Amino acid sequence: MFKKKIETPFYALIASFINVVLYNIPLFKLGYNNIELSTFNGVLLITSLVITAIVSNFFIFYIAVYLLRHVGKWLLILFFIINSLCVYFIVNYGVLIDRSMIGNILNTNYDEASSFISFTLLSYLIFLGVLPSLFIYRLKYERVKLKPFLLHCSLALIFLLSITYVNAPNWLWVDKNSKTLGSLVMPWSYVANTIRFYHKENKQNQKQTLLPDAKITNDRKSIVVLVIGESARSANYSLYGYDRNTNPLLAKIKDLHVYEAQSSATYTTAGVKAILDYKESNDLNEILPNYLNRNDVEVIWRTTNWGEPKVNIKNYQDQNYLRELCEGTECDYDDVLLYQLKDLIVKSKKNKILIVLHTSTSHGPTYYKKYPPEFEQFTPVCKSVELSNCTNQELVNAYDNTILYTDYLLAKVIENLKQLNEYNSGMIYVSDHGESLGEKNLYMHGIPLSIAPKEQFEIPFIVWTTDKSLQFKNKKTLSQYNVFHSILDFLEVESPIYDKDMSILKK
């Protein structure tokens, strides 16, 4: 079968057929679930979707193998391999391959990526990726002449235009679902979105626009610890009404301000940027730690996470640095962020201090690895990286243990601050985004905000302070942009960009 050569158009057609059948099932499933199939129009739409997919892939594959020859063939193989991985994540985690998801993938470090490796993932890779690639590699083709090549291409193009025209009544449907459709069409979803991602990166790699200088107004000693949560959703905090006691320690602390809040995005890079930015915009403004550091505030950034905007300060301490210093089993977890926290503050010669702790405690899918054994109080827990293999209860148990551990960490920060009598101190805890735990068959996060379920953007926003004279506003729902202005208020730093309405303090 592999001895005989077939002609280029057939080769492209076979490749297109494999591509559509193996990798675009999630796309057709979406169509199937969203289209009324009892009507003529519905049948027309779904048939058109399938035919359009086959013909348009044929069109592009044909041009690729014709013009690029061997390189075109390898390109197909590369597509098949990546497609198989994408289908795995779409099927098992309900992700959409859009621009921000590509950003998440390209920003992923080895630790995070390796936590996804599983038997099922390898099976997808072998059966959906490697085997079809071998087939397409062994299949030989003979190039047709230029004239028939041009003729075939024109025919395919005319066909695609006509099918679009026939489907004019369905344009609205396509437009409405374009976001989801575009993220499921393999391989074009990641090809187009990788280009879009780099385009945006390029734009953002420009320097941060410096904000107008700020002024420290007095020499009172004050300190704010900003704790940035990871994938923490408010629904699983007993402070927000969850029926399980996931906040036993915080519940005992007086004067805790617990606000409803929504994140500005459902993925880390955008969520963290929003927490540090003074207003919502596509520009790259100087972020809070850089701004305060430049204006004579002592800023210390500690992180066990990633996906942060560029933090230009000398006291940037990542997990490798911290784990080197810290001794004890607690150093394997986010406790490492609190290592000698008090000493750090006392040693500072400045009156105004901001400490940012960027945690990673509730990051999936291996929730059970994110807390020390003694915090495994809700059992049994999910220990598979394939979340849909666990019962929902096991998954929620593991996740709730991460919240219990977060409760301990926050209470410990507050304990530390309470002992520093000579300081006015405050703590703000806010998460970068929420998390899905199997609701609507979705897991983790990253669904575009406009269509995301509330679990992915309803986040905790908890504030504590030693200064009893401070008055807090009664705000209904906070956004992440409230952080910047509230911290300026806490530290009593004056700035031309300070927005009184955006602070949670009454003045």
Q: Which two tokens stand for residue 494?
A: 């004056």
285 binds Zn ion (CB under 5 A): no
189 binds Zn ion (CB under 5 A): no
Q: Which stretch binds Zn ion (CB under 5 A): 123-131, 145-153, 426-434, 471-479?
A: 426-434
Spell out the residues 6+ positions from residue 379 whose beta carbon is closer than 8 angstroms to its own. 397
Shortest distance (Å) from residue 318 CB to Zn ion:
16
In angstroms, the CA 339 to CA 342 distance is 8
Shortest distance (Å) from residue 339 CB to Zn ion:
22
Shortest distance (Å) from residue 57 CB to Zn ion:
34
**Dihedral angle computed from the Cα positions of residues 29, 182, 164 and 38, in that order, rounded to the nearest 10 degrees:** 20
| DSSP-derived secondary structure letter, 245 | -
Give the CA distances from residue 276 to residues 322, 333, 449, in Å, rounded to whole numbers and listed in that order: 22, 24, 19
Work out the angle between the directed axes of helices 8-23 and 70-93 (0-180°, nearest 10).
10
Q: Which stretch binds Zn ion (CB under 5 A): 141-149, 161-169, 182-190, 264-272?
A: 264-272
19 binds Zn ion (CB under 5 A): no
**Under rule CB under 5 A, how many of the chain's residues touch Zn ion?**
3
Q: Considering only residues 378-417, where is the footprint of Zn ion by CB under 5 A?
A: none
Look at phi and psi of residue 454 and say left if phi exceeds 0, alpha if psi is from -120 to 50, else beta: alpha
Which residue's beta carbon is nearest to the bound Zn ion? 268
Shortest distance (Å) from residue 443 CB to Zn ion:
14
- CA-only gyration radius of the chain, Å: 27
In angstroms, the CA 410 to CA 417 distance is 11
Of 98 and 432, CB closest to Zn ion: 432
Of 268 and 480, CB closest to Zn ion: 268
Query: Which single residue is written with the structure tokens 């739409």?
Result: 45
Q: Which stretch binds Zn ion (CB under 5 A): 49-57, 230-238, 339-347, 495-503?
A: 230-238
317 binds Zn ion (CB under 5 A): no
112 binds Zn ion (CB under 5 A): no
425 binds Zn ion (CB under 5 A): no
Shortest distance (Å) from residue 139 CB to Zn ion:
43
308 binds Zn ion (CB under 5 A): no
Q: Which stretch binds Zn ion (CB under 5 A): 141-149, 153-161, 251-259, 424-432?
A: 424-432
Q: Which stretch binds Zn ion (CB under 5 A): 28-36, 66-74, 312-320, 427-435?
A: 427-435
Shortest distance (Å) from residue 436 CB to Zn ion:
13
In angstroms, the CA 211 to CA 279 distance is 12
Q: Which of 16, 264, 268, 285 binds Zn ion (CB under 5 A)?
A: 268
Look at phi and psi of residue 241 and say left if phi exceeds 0, alpha if psi is from -120 to 50, else beta: left
Shortest distance (Å) from residue 231 CB to Zn ion:
5
Shortest distance (Å) from residue 290 CB to Zn ion:
21
Q: Are 49 and 174 in contact (CB under 8 A)?
A: no
Question: Which phi and psi angles does 482 have, rounded to 5°?
Answer: -70, -20
Shortest distance (Å) from residue 264 CB to Zn ion:
12
Spell out the residues 6+ positions from residue 355 whose beta carbon is closer than 8 angstroms to its own. 223, 224, 225, 226, 299, 300, 301, 302, 341, 344, 345
One-letter amino acid at 491 equals L
As a whole number of angstroms, the longest Cα–Cα distance in the chain is 86
432 binds Zn ion (CB under 5 A): yes
Contact set with Zn ion (CB under 5 A): 230, 268, 432
